[in-house]
């Protein structure tokens, strides 16, 4: 029997970028180890999302920021082939540079002609030590940066939530505060699955979220599951 003609359904690329804090404070209390473990565990879930997503080809990479920002995983990797290389922590919190680095790769000249909104997931435990505003301006100056779905996860109470809110720049989406390793796992899994799914093929959403305040300009993303109350041992960072 001759197979039916044609190819697989047309889809668009979606770039997913982790922006990970690798500053010295992340080495305290096992934070960087928890971050590495959480991203590792999220990968198979991202791959499941990709399998059920016919509208997107998902590409993943990661930026580390400490004394300076650098590509931890520079060349975009198809999510099906993505694996995580552990981060180490040392130095300052050059978040502004990290945003500039991301913006550089979101330039129209660099991005594909057609795509889905990129997803930027920022994970940090502190406050920027460089010119964060400059980095943010640079990011928002890029059409793909402005249209990106941006979520942020604060590790512990030390993180400056107002900075994360400015990064997200959408009153409907709040930064998440992970107080322990379990919560960090839950939030990274949420960012890697629910947010990824929403950006690539928006899910069914409750009406009030879809149409609040006229035309929806932001992606309707169901808030993450709040992990169960932690045990005392999990509170130690």
Partner 1 sequence: MQYILTNVATVTGESSGESYRVGRLLGGGGQGEVYIASGGGQELALKWYFPESATPAQRHALEKLVELPPPSPRFLWPSELATAGGVRSFGYLMPLRPERFKSLFDLMKRRIEPTFRTLLTAGLALADSYWQLHAKGLCYCDISFGNVFFDPANGDVLICDNDNVSIDRKSDGRVPGTPRFMAPEVVLGEPPSSDSDRFSLAVLLFYMLHVHHPLEGAKEHAIHCLDMPALRKLFGEEPIFIFDPENAANRPVAGDQDNAEIYWKIYPRSLRELFTRVFTRGLRDPRDGRVRETEWRDELVRVRDGIFYCANCRGENFYQPEALASLGPHGQLCWSCGKALRLPLRLRYEDNKVSNVVMLNHDTRLFAHHLVGGRQRFDFGAPLAEVTRHPADASRWGLKNLSTVPWYFTPRESDTTVEVLPGRAASLLDGARIAFGPVVGEVRA
What distance in Å separates the CA atoms of residue 40 and residue 182, rounded to the nearest whole number?
A: 14
Among residues 10, 30, 38, the alpha carbon closest in space to that of 186 is found at 38
Does position 12 bind partner 1 by CB under 8 A? yes
State which of positions 75-134 bind partner 1 (CB under 8 A).
108, 113-117
CB of 195 to partner 1, least distance (A): 11
By beta-carbon proximity to partner 1, the closer residue of 64 and 189 is: 189
Does position 15 bind partner 1 by CB under 8 A? no
Q: How far is CA 8 from CA 12, 58, 101, 115, in A?
A: 12, 16, 34, 17
Query: Which window, 3-11, 18-26, 90-98, 153-161, contacts partner 1 (CB under 8 A)?
Result: 3-11
3 state DSSP class of 35: helix
Q: Helix crossing, 161-168 with 132-141: angle to 10°?
A: 10
Residue 80 CB neighbours (<10 A): 12
State which of positions 183-212 bind partner 1 (CB under 8 A).
185-186, 189, 193-194, 197-198, 201-207, 210-211
Q: Which residues, other chains included, contact 150 with Cβ-Cβ below 8 Å and sequence gap of 6+?
A: 119, 120, 122, 167, 168, 169, 170, 173
What distance in Å separates the CA atoms of residue 132 and residue 152, rounded to the nearest whole number?
A: 15
State which of positions 38-67 bind partner 1 (CB under 8 A).
41, 48, 51-55
Pick the binder of partner 1 from 3, 75, 81, 232 (CB under 8 A).
Answer: 3
By beta-carbon proximity to partner 1, the closer residue of 1 and 233 is: 1
Residues that bind partner 1 (CB under 8 A): 1-10, 12, 41, 48, 51-55, 108, 113-117, 143-144, 147, 182, 185-186, 189, 193-194, 197-198, 201-207, 210-211, 215-220, 222-223, 225-228
């Amino acid at each position: 029997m001759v197979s039916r003609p044609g190819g697989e359904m047309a889809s668009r690329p979606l770039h997913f970028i982790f922006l990970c804090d690798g500053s010295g404070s992340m080495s305290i209390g096992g934070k960087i180890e928890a971050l590495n473990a959480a991203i590792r565990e999220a990968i198979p879930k991202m791959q499941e999302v990709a399998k059920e997503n016919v509208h997107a080809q998902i590409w993943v990479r990661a930026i580390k920021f400490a004394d300076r920002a650098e590509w931890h995983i520079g060349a975009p990797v198809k999510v099906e082939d993505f694996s995580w290389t552990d981060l180490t922590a040392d130095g300052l919190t050059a978040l502004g540079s990290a945003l500039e680095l991301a913006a550089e790769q979101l330039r129209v000249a660099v991005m594909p002609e057609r795509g889905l909104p990129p997803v930027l997931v920022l994970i940090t435990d502190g406050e920027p030590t460089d010119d964060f505003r400059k980095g943010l301006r640079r990011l928002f100056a890029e059409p793909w940066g402005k249209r990106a779905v941006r979520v942020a996860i604060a590790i512990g109470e030390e993180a400056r939530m107002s900075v994360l809110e400015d990064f997200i720049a959408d009153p409907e989406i709040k930064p998440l505060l992970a107080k322990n390793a379990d919560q960090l796992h839950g939030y990274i899994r949420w960012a890697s699955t629910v947010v990824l799914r929403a950006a690539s093929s928006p899910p069914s959403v409750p009406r009030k979220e879809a149409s609040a305040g006229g035309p929806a300009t932001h992606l309707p993303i169901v808030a993450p599951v709040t992990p169960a109350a932690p045990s005392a041992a999990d509170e130690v960072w």
